[in-house]
Structure 1
Amino acid sequence: MGKGRTKPAVMPIDRTGEDRPLLFVGWIDALPVPAALVRPMARGNFRLHASNAAFDRLKLSPVGADAPIELLRAVERASQHPDEVQEFSCQLGEGPAARDLRGHIGPLPTETDDDGLFLLTLIDRTQEMMTERNLRRELVSDSLTGLPNRAGFEELVEQRAHRDAPGADHAILLLDLARFSRINEHIGPMAGDELIITVARRLKSSLRSGDILARTGGDEFAISTRIAGGRADVREMARRIRGCFDHPFRIGELKVSVDCALGCSIQPTSEIDVANQIRHAQIALKRAKQTDRIEIYEPEAAMLSDNRFGLETELRNAIEEDRLHLAFQPLIEMASGRVAGFEALARWDNSSGVAVSPTEFIPIAEDSGLIVPLGQWAIGKAAAVLADWDRQNGGQVVNAYFSVNVSAIQLVRDDVAGVVRQALQKHGIGGERLMIELTESAIIGDPDLALSVLRELKALDARVAMDDFGTGYSNLAYLQRLPIDVLKIDRSFVEHMVDDRDKVAIVRTIQSLAEVLGMKTTAEGVETTDQARLLSALGCDFGQGYLFARPMDGKAALDYWRQSLTRPIF
């Protein structure tokens, strides 16, 4: 007690008659919460010795017969352990009028001189519990569709797994809407939301009773179902789901056609690991996006995915720790036979010293986004090697340029011109000594962006080449606008061209187009002398391929350039 305060007096219990409900005891009425003095009876029942008005409004039966089971159990524990305070939570009533209560039952102070009475207090937590339930609902539900989200989906599947009898298998199907981001850009986010809601309704109507549908991502849905017929059941269900997309979706006045990719994972009900099964379904979904058909998870695919993830992690470390190197394949001027430049190619030896093929790590870099730092590294490294060659050449500028590949992903996500500018300034070399290679699809895919980037590169005096020309669908009007210096003729046209008149005609057409547009040409994949002579006769400016040299390290490449000054390569 604080200084100057006295302990409040406890009013004596009236013993003038038998215990009666609502017997007045003055100090109970002073309590701000529902409170009562109770006398335990058999099996947790109790009699009220006294109660306040707040307790009376709860309308609990005086003998405890209609009391919640949690309260009765607490009363029984209190009678068995009279020196301890018992806590419990319970719900009083049903439906919208139900109240959530938290209670305490404890012995009275010793001054009352009655060991058989206990003080019961209740706190109304209805609003608190309602808020908690609403928050939980938000955590496990998708606010747009009302469907479970990823967390809610996992929870529901686990609950059903514990509830269902073993026997049938359990399948999880993941569905990804094709081209949704592009559709969303064109019709707007509000219409995009309406499309998602409509898709959810169609999907729900196609499912069986007991199936669980969830929205697990922006354009991704998950379905949980029990199957008895294995893969055949899954494929039949997938066909039914795909049928939801046979007809366009009407969004306002628009008709929007949407397709989807489907990946599935199957597990016995007794062995369900929801998180792992979803991961397996994601592996299958990724494959389905490539094959355009329903894909069912195979363990071999998981091993491949794990290997790819391991390579991705190791590649990330190699880029950060500068453990990659460049190899250089010469670009030969067909008219003079001298080395005009080199294509700088990224090469990587893993931590065990084993060379990893570019056909293996470049796709991983593109899928993971590592292609951006990889491209930045290649541009910086190429500039550094050129500066080092100048020093080895007695301070005289080596009359050769390096061509560096830039992916479509880097073109969109990165400031390519800024990366080139920084590399040139850091190593003190001129922009004309770097050529940036962009694929035809990267340039034509977003011509306006490409035009902006290429103009910035040209302002740095850097040159630009369009790689794999002729393999895509070039718009000649855009091609005329773009400041491109070199068209690289794809190796597919060079291969067997000596014996194929159609390929010769294609190469001749590309060469004529380049001349009209004021561009040079480089033929890739030159492997025979006859090919080189024919290309030279057609007017091709540069050649690249195993006929001249395979990719080599920096020292060998510098020696190769020096050799070409005195003895033409071709």
Structure 2
Amino acid sequence: MKPDPQIVALAAALSGTEGGAPALDTLRQVLDILPVMVALMDRERRHVYANRAYLERMGRTADDILGLTVGDLLGPDTLRGTQDTAERALKGEVVQAEGWLPRAGGGNDYVVRMHVPHRGPDGAVAGYFVIMQNMTDRRRTQDDLFRLAYYDPVTGLANRLLLVKHMGDFHTMGEPFTVVIVDFDRFVDIRTSLGQGFANEILSDVATRLSNQAGAVDLIARISDHAFALLIGGLCDPAAIEPRLEVIAALVRSARSSSGASVFLSASIGVACASAAHERAEDVLRDAEIATGRAREQGGGRHSWFDPAMHARVVEQVRLEHDLRRALERGEELWVAYQPIVEMVTGGLAGFEALVRWNHPERGNIPPGVFIPIAESTGLIVTLGAWVLREACRQIADWQEKRLPGSAALFMSVNLSTRQLNDPDVVPLVRDVLRETGAEPSWIKLEITESAVMEKADQAIQLLQSLRGLGIKMSIDDFGTGYSSLSYLHKLPIDSLKVDRSFVMAMHQSEENRAIVRIIMDLARLLGFDVIAEGIETSADANLLRALACDYGQGYHFARPLPAADAEALVGAEHLPWQEPR
């Protein structure tokens, strides 16, 4: 075979001699020191040459490998797997591929391969070169980075990012799909009380149960600290999905730790179906989360299907939250109304309850039942509650100077929300407000709902004791509507029970309803508490409560919540409107 003049010229350059005889050996040395694997195959895919890196990879010597195919070295599967690239190289193409390649001694390496035609002196393809580089470490690093980016380390499930990517693929292809979100109720309490390790075991157990028993899904992902999402491809079929939701709820309830310990766990489940109205795949996930929030608002442990009205409601809440933040910053739209609290026997004015009101510049008066839940859910209630407390204390301090001579000191009831109850700064706040406004602690009565107290009873008792230590009074609001325990009730450092309006309104319906109110009164007297009845709307209500020896009352029968100026007119009045014959 006549030497290629270009190779001869290269050999001459390498050897420094015109004939270049030593150059071939030099080239071999160069090839052998390369980390890249190089081999030359004939047209029958048999080895003609291999450098040292290639031989070490195959576990063979140069003499052993000559005349053998890659199938002889690594098995027929590898021969078949590389057939397409080999045939294309033999047709004159330069082909690049990458993938896992088995090792002769076992295991796999991830390699990048090039199949390059080898042409003879006449220009015809006489075989092909195989040039390979081991990229296993880089591939494993990429895989690790991919797992970190797209998978949850606790459960091994896909994460939110990968879910959105898969949803985007469906959306791009115009394929329908459904998203089901499974959000655990009270999971934060479980983690706080039992520890992160136990919580992770529960998460892993639920993930396994969902993967094995929740039916066919395209993807299951952990999308937040306490929520999973199931991606179900195909047309949305509520009749088929509804039974699966019951199965999913049962799987959550049956969760166990790795040691077999169980905890009561329920889930709020939201479902949303992709539709033409969704401009982006993420919008479907958003709607499923909105539906989940609706299920949670209804008490949890249930499921809810998304409908457009839910989205409109969420948008409205976001707008109101923004406007409420602005109102708190400007201090111009919010005001405090004061509803009189009456001494039931004498009809005299005993005090007031401070109630926040919002006069929106565009929407007018917004009911507390609309903006208070928004303030609670966003944490704005802490700022709002502090503002109301400060206004109420300033007002009662001023009114004490204007009451009738010789009359008893008035008290001011102020609601303390669940968020405020959990705020570590609430005791210093109350202390500072009392000092700033000059209000005596005995004039202030903080009202806390029964459910808020019993949710974390021991913690609440400590906080109430600290507040009581300031000299203020405490009251349980809406008594009878929550889940209080008599074993805790006598331990609570409180002064009053407030009978919920629902019991007052039902008193005239039956003897049983009257008996409930009587029992509350008797219990309060036994424990040394005052009783305040709210929701008194008629003289019949007032007369019956007097007969039951109720201490104080409030309601429309006496007066509605009043602006400060109107309430102040009652403070020094010798005759009060509700004392007049009707």
Q: Which TM-score applies when normalising by structure 1?
A: 0.77
Displacement after TM superposition at 1:538 (Å)? 2.4
Deviations 1:197-225 (A, max 9, x none): 22212211124556211122233111111
Q: What secondary structure does 2:559 align onto?
A: coil
Task: Name the CA distance, whole Å, in 1 between partners of 2:435 and 2:550.
Answer: 33
Q: 1:326-341 maps to which residues of 2 (within 5 A)?
A: 326-341=336-351
| Contact 1:454–1:482 (8 Å) recurs in 2 | yes
Deviations 1:53-98 (A, max 9, x none): 7799899x9xxx99989xx9xx999xxxxxxxxxx99747636644
Give the counterpart letter for 1:352 in structure 2.
E
Displacement after TM superposition at 1:517 (Å)? 2.0
Give the counterpart letter for 1:197 in structure 2.
S
**Which residue of structure 1 lines up, in the alignment, with residue 514 of structure 2?**
504
Q: What secondary structure does 1:276 align onto?
A: helix
Task: Name the CA distance, whole Å, in 2 between partners of 1:182 and 1:453.
Answer: 19
Task: Name the CA distance, whole Å, in 2 between partners of 1:22 and 1:153.
Answer: 57
The answer as to 2:230 corresponding to 1:223 is: yes
- Report the CA distance shift for 1:554/1:122 in structure 2 as closer, same or farther (over 3 A): farther
Task: Name the CA distance, whole Å, in 1 between partners of 2:276 and 2:212.
Answer: 25
| Contact 1:511–1:521 (8 Å) recurs in 2 | yes
**Which residue of structure 2 lines up, in the alignment, with residue 474 of structure 1?**
484
The answer as to 2:354 corresponding to 1:344 is: yes
2:197 to 190, 195, 204: 190
The answer as to 2:178 corresponding to 1:171 is: yes
**Which residue of structure 1 lines up, in the alignment, with residue 445 of structure 2?**
435
The answer as to 2:375 corresponding to 1:373 is: no
Q: What secondary structure does 2:320 align onto?
A: helix
Deviations 1:440-496 (A, max 9, x none): 222233332222122222221111111112223432332222221121121122225
Deviations 1:170-208 (A, max 9, x none): 101111234444444565443332222222122111245
Displacement after TM superposition at 1:285 (Å)? 1.3
Q: Percent identity?
A: 31
**Which residue of structure 2 lines up, in the alignment, with residue 401 of structure 1?**
411
Q: What secondary structure does 1:285 align onto?
A: helix
| Contact 1:281–1:297 (8 Å) recurs in 2 | yes
| Contact 2:12–2:18 (8 Å) recurs in 1 | no
- Report the CA distance shift for 1:482/1:405 in structure 2 as closer, same or farther (over 3 A): same
The answer as to 2:26 corresponding to 1:24 is: yes
2:268 to 249, 258, 261: 261
Task: Name the CA distance, whole Å, in 1 between partners of 2:37 and 2:12.
Answer: 16
Task: Name the CA distance, whole Å, in 2 between partners of 1:138 and 1:123.
Answer: 26
**Which residue of structure 2 lines up, in the alignment, with residue 316 of structure 1?**
325
**Which residue of structure 2 lines up, in the alignment, with residue 295 of structure 1?**
304
The answer as to 2:287 corresponding to 1:285 is: no
Task: Name the CA distance, whole Å, in 1 between partners of 2:403 and 2:24.
Answer: 107
| Contact 1:28–1:52 (8 Å) recurs in 2 | no
**Which residue of structure 2 lines up, in the alignment, with residue 306 of structure 1?**
315
| Contact 1:326–1:347 (8 Å) recurs in 2 | yes
Deviations 1:15-47 (A, max 9, x none): 9679999673699789987699xxxxxxxxxxx
| Contact 2:183–2:269 (8 Å) recurs in 1 | yes
Q: What secondary structure does 1:497 align onto?
A: coil
Deviations 1:371-417 (A, max 9, x none): 222222221221233345468889x9994221100122321234332
**Which residue of structure 1 lines up, in the alignment, with residue 569 of structure 2?**
559
Task: Name the CA distance, whole Å, in 2 between partners of 1:423 and 1:445.
Answer: 27
| Contact 2:558–2:577 (8 Å) recurs in 1 | no
Displacement after TM superposition at 1:566 (Å)? 5.0
Count of residue pairs the alignment pairs up: 514
Give the counterpart letter for 1:280 in structure 2.
D
Displacement after TM superposition at 1:99 (Å)? 4.9
Task: Name the CA distance, whole Å, in 1 between partners of 2:439 and 2:541.
Answer: 35
Q: Is there any run of 5+ residues in structure 1 with no aligned partner, and where? A: 1-9, 37-50, 78-87, 104-120
Task: Name the CA distance, whole Å, in 2 between partners of 1:89 and 1:371.
Answer: 63
- Report the CA distance shift for 1:397/1:417 in structure 2 as closer, same or farther (over 3 A): farther
- Report the CA distance shift for 1:21/1:138 in structure 2 as closer, same or farther (over 3 A): farther
Give the counterpart letter for 1:465 in structure 2.
S
Task: Name the CA distance, whole Å, in 2 between partners of 1:186 and 1:391.
Answer: 49
Give the counterpart letter for 1:231 in structure 2.
P
**Which residue of structure 2 lines up, in the alignment, with residue 531 of structure 1?**
541
Task: Name the CA distance, whole Å, in 1 between partners of 2:23 and 2:477.
Answer: 94
Q: 1:127-276 maps to which residues of 2 (within 5 A)?
A: 127-162=137-172, 166=174, 169-184=176-191, 188-208=195-215, 211-228=218-235, 230-245=237-252, 249=256, 251-256=258-263, 258-268=265-275, 273-276=280-283
- Report the CA distance shift for 1:314/1:479 in structure 2 as closer, same or farther (over 3 A): same
Q: What secondary structure does 1:487 align onto?
A: strand
- Report the CA distance shift for 1:476/1:55 in structure 2 as closer, same or farther (over 3 A): closer
Q: Is there any run of 5+ residues in structure 2 with no aligned partner, and where? A: 1-10, 39-49, 59-65, 67-81, 115-130
- Report the CA distance shift for 1:243/1:393 in structure 2 as closer, same or farther (over 3 A): closer
- Report the CA distance shift for 1:523/1:251 in structure 2 as closer, same or farther (over 3 A): same
Give the counterpart letter for 2:330 in structure 1.
E
Give the counterpart letter for 1:205 in structure 2.
N
Of 14-23 and 249-258, deviating more is 14-23
Give the counterpart letter for 2:200 in structure 1.
D
Q: What secondary structure does 1:172 align onto?
A: strand
- Report the CA distance shift for 1:535/1:239 in structure 2 as closer, same or farther (over 3 A): closer
Task: Name the CA distance, whole Å, in 1 between partners of 2:113 and 2:440.
Answer: 78
**Which residue of structure 1 lines up, in the alignment, with residue 126 of structure 2?**
none
Of 544-553 and 209-218, deviating more is 209-218
Q: What secondary structure does 1:262 align onto?
A: strand
Task: Name the CA distance, whole Å, in 2 between partners of 1:423 and 1:102.
Answer: 76
Q: What secondary structure does 2:497 align onto?
A: strand
Of 123-132 and 135-144, deviating more is 123-132
1:517 to 517, 522, 527: 527
Task: Name the CA distance, whole Å, in 2 between partners of 1:334 and 1:312.
Answer: 39
| Contact 2:451–2:482 (8 Å) recurs in 1 | yes
Task: Name the CA distance, whole Å, in 2 between partners of 1:557 and 1:298.
Answer: 45
Deviations 1:326-380 (A, max 9, x none): 1110111223322221100011122425111001111122222222222222212
Q: What secondary structure does 1:12 align onto?
A: helix
| Contact 1:28–1:35 (8 Å) recurs in 2 | no
| Contact 2:403–2:572 (8 Å) recurs in 1 | no
| Contact 1:173–1:224 (8 Å) recurs in 2 | yes
Give the counterpart letter for 2:322 in structure 1.
T
Displacement after TM superposition at 1:139 (Å)? 1.7
**Which residue of structure 2 lines up, in the alignment, with residue 109 of structure 1?**
none
Q: What secondary structure does 1:355 align onto?
A: strand
Task: Name the CA distance, whole Å, in 1 between partners of 2:163 and 2:509.
Answer: 61
